[in-house]
Amino acid sequence: MLKSDYESVSFHANGLGDRAAIDLVRQGYFQAFVDLVPGTFSEYLLGGNRPSGPDRLDITRDNPIPYIFCPGGFDMISCGPLERKGQGDALWVSGRLAERKLHVKDNLRVQARTSIKEMEELGTAVADKLNCYVNKARVKVVIPQKSFSSISVEGEALFDPVADRAFIKALRRGLDPEIGIIEVDSDINSPDFARVVANTLSEVARGASDGDHPW
């Protein structure tokens, strides 16, 4: 959807990929950043396996390029291997992960569902981060109402629309009104959601080129 205007570069949301993206954005290699899966920020806060550091959402804070934020991956905590469950592991014990909804793809790849309380905390933390952006008019939040990943859609292991809604409410409550929020009646992997993300980026970029928000 964006290839007529951009050459896209993808980064894996595994911690190392996030750090590479942060470094390259800060070096000025990109015209825009679509942050589809910032879940390594939530894992930094909650103790998952794929943390990217406290500055994960500062990626374009002082940079005037368009920044589109989506809450991909905030619905899970990576907590494998499965053996940790019965070994008194600190994360499993403190988070009571064994009592949660789990998605076990294999022994190493295990995800636990984030709780309502955690999602509220994440919504507040994201708002605090985005509120520090210098060019708030360049920041847009696009939220898929029907799941933040493929494993939390209805019928899948981590389905919990109440927890997802808790994140959205907390984010709306804390976010600076200058930062626009768009909610989409679809899941994060749907063509409808992709279309809204692409259109939102195009609109922000067009506003910049028209001189509404000078670089």
Strand blocks (E) in the chain: 33-35, 67-69, 76-78, 102-104, 110-113, 139-144, 180-184
The rounded distance, in Å, linking the Cα atoms of 175 and 182 is 13
Tell me the CATH number for domain 16-75+114-208: 3.40.50.12030
Compute the distance between CA of residue 177 and CA of residue 154 in angstroms, rounded to an integer. 31
Structure tokens at 123: 């919504």
Residue 210: pLDDT over 80: no
Per the CB < 8 A criterion, the answer to whether 44 and 52 are in contact is yes
Domain ranges of the chain: 16-75+114-208
Task: Please give the pLDDT value at position 207.
Answer: 82
Least reliable range by pLDDT among 55-64, 108-117, 125-134, 191-200: 55-64
Residue type at position 66: P
Per-residue pLDDT, averaged over 64-80, amounts to 97
pLDDT in tens, 164-178: 999 999 999 999 999
The greatest distance separating any two alpha carbons of the chain, rounded to the nearest whole angstrom, comes to 59
Residues making up the chain, counted from first to last: 215
* Range in 61-65, 126-130, 140-144, 160-164 the model is least confident about: 61-65
Residues 48, 52, 53, 55, CA torsion sign:
negative
Predicted local distance difference test score (pLDDT) of residue 215: 28
Rounded to the nearest angstrom, the gap between the alpha carbon of residue 119 and the centroid of all alpha carbons in its chain is: 12
Q: Does the reported pTM lie above 0.95?
A: no
